[in-house]
Amino acid sequence: MKMAILAGCLCLAVSVGFVLAGCGSGEDTSTQTTCPVMGRKINKNIYEDYKGKRVYFCCNGCPKTFKDDPEKFMKKMADQGIILEDAP
């Protein structure tokens, strides 16, 4: 009985580990849904194209903040696994 419980706990721990590591999904990236500056939901009508990528923002004030240090925000999104759309 103890072995069955131990085996069940081990299987659960391994499963949780895969989910937390993103291994179970086959993909650990996502499309942009939040503003890199404020963290709010993006408005697809407010964007800047940077190095061939389209970056969306939540409001009209965020593009200026982004332009002040774009690499900071690009790194932040890359670290979060966000895949940006290609700029047309």
Contacting residues for 81 by C-beta, under 8 A, at least 6 apart: 22, 28, 29, 30
Q: How many CB atoms lie within 10 A of CB 68?
A: 10
pTM over 0.75: no
Tell me: pLDDT of 27 over 50. Answer: no
DSSP string across 41-81:
BPEEEEEEEETTEEEEESSTTHHHHHHHSHHHHHHHHHHTT
35-62 pLDDT, tens digit per residue, is 999 999 999 999 999 999 999 999 999 9
Which region among 11-20, 42-51, 75-84 has the lowest average model confidence (pLDDT)? Answer: 11-20
Residue 40 and residue 58 in contact, taking contact as beta carbons nearer than 8 Å: yes
For the record, the structure tokens of 87 come out as: 């700029």
pLDDT at position 20: 44
